[in-house]
Structures are given as structure tokens and as C-alpha cells.
Amino acid sequence: MIAKSYDLLMADVDYEKLLNSIEPYLKKEDFILDAGCGSGYLLVEFMSKGYHAIGVDLDSRMLSLAYDKLIALNFNPALYEHDLRLPFHVKVDVIVMMFDVLNYFKGIKKVIKEAKMALKPGGRLIFDVYKASVLEDYDGYIEAEEEPISYVWKINRDKNRLIHQVMMDEESEKVIQYVHPLTYYQDVLDSYGFKYEIKEGIDPRKYYIIAYV
């Protein structure tokens, strides 16, 4: 249920604008890994611009939606079910983890370690994370819509967690995100020897971080 609703709710994101914002850190010859690719919207954008990109996600339902998108556009659906805390067994130039992928992990040390191991020399890890302010901003948040689907989305805060409860078609699913201060992410990147830039981006709720091996 959550995969289809997520896919519909993410349909109106300006993916071209997002890619334009990170393209200064990409090269046309880069081999790109979209880690936590979800239902494939950003992968479509990469491939539409001629990048060699593959996608991984832990959710097979999301990968199925991504597969259908890519096939419909005559792209090669190089998609793999994978836990980002485990070795990738591939070497790439760029890993992107967009749309708060890292916020779904209680701790990110294993994820960052495996990302570094998968990057070629000179590689880049590009990701976004929520600012700590969202913990207050979204505590008690309720969103209810009828279009493009009928759903109710409630968010409550529990310490550094955002607990999402999504109800659709009399079904309910809980999703938990973990929000840390910026210094937490900096400390983890420092511990693995990354150099990095921290930027504002198209979503004012987030930091956009470009880390270099």
C-alpha cells in the first residue's frame, strides 16, 4: 500500500530541478548508483539525460514500480534489491541517496562505510537529510487529501523520531524516520575520511551534502 501511495504523492516533485542542482558535481561518464531509488523517478531523470545509472532499494514493491517506469520509457531497468548497510559488490563514481534516505536508519555508520567502500577514487556521495527543526515542525502534523488518492497522513514526534502513520483504503502503515543534528552526520563523515560541502537546496527543510572520497 505505501509503495503505490508514495509513488503517487511523489509524482509532482520537480526532479529535473533537483538533478540540475547536483549536476555540477557529476560528469557525463560517471557510473551512478541511486541508493534507495524508491519508485524510480530520479533514475528516470538520470537516464533521460544520458547518465549510466543503476538503482537499489530494500523494498521490492518500490523496485517493481521503478521497473515499470523504466520499461515504459525503453530504458534498461538495472535494479537490485539491497540493504544499504551491506556491501554493494560494485564500484561506482557517484552514489546518491536523495529524498531523506538516510533518515530511515537509526544509525548511519554502516551505510556510510559501505558507500565509501563502493566509491572509486575521487568518487562522490551526494545525499540529503532533514534539519533538526522538522522534529518540532511536524509534531502533530495531519494531512488529508482526496486527490490524487484518498489518504490521511499523521506525524508525531518521539524524541528524535518522526513516526508517520499513513491510512489509505482502510489500511494503515507506520513509517519511522530518525532526525539527527547536522553535527552527527559531520562526525560520521569525518570518521570515514570524507571531505564534504553542506548546501541549501530545493527543499528548505533539508541539508544537501556532497561528500568526496
Write down the pLDDT at residue 2: 66
pLDDT for residue 161: 98
pLDDT tens track of the chain, all 213 residues?
567 767 877 788 999 999 999 999 999 999 999 999 999 999 999 999 999 999 999 999 999 999 999 999 999 999 999 999 999 999 999 999 999 999 999 999 999 999 999 999 999 999 999 999 999 999 999 999 887 778 899 999 999 999 999 888 778 889 999 999 999 999 999 999 999 999 999 999 999 999 999
Instruction: Write down the pTM of the prediction.
Output: 0.95
Query: What's residue 10's pLDDT?
Result: 79
What residue type is 101 in one-letter code?
Answer: V
Question: Can you tell me the distance from the alpha carbon of 4 to that of 7, in angstroms, rounded to the nearest whole number?
Answer: 5
Q: Give 174's strand partners.
A: 165
Question: What is the C-alpha to C-alpha distance for residues 18 and 35, in angstroms, rounded to an integer?
Answer: 16
Q: Is 131 left (phi over 0), alpha (psi -120 to 50) or beta?
A: beta
151-158: strand order across its sheet: 141-145, 151-158, 161-168, 171-178
Q: Which domains, from first to last, does the chain contain? A: 2-130+181-212 (3.40.50.150), 134-176 (no CATH)
Grid cell in block for residue 138: 511536524
Question: 3-class SS at 132?
Answer: coil
Dist. CA 46–CA 213, nearest whole Å: 22
Residue with cell 482526496: 146
Contact 102, 108 (CB under 8 A): yes
Q: Tell me the CA distances in angstroms from 18 to 4, 70, 80, 96, one per residue in order.
A: 22, 19, 23, 12
| CB burial string 126-142: b at 16+ within 10 A, e below | bbbbbbbebbeebeeee
Interatomic CA distance for residues 185 and 206, integer angstroms: 13
Amino acid at 92: V
In the chain, the amino acid numbered 163 is: I
Distance CA 32, CA 115 (A): 12
Under DSSP, the state recorded for 121 is: E
Give the residue among 176, 156, 154 at the shortest CA–CA distance from 165. Answer: 154
- Please work out, in degrees rounded to the nearest 5, the angle formed at the alpha carbon of residue 166 by the alpha carbons of 163 and 171: 130
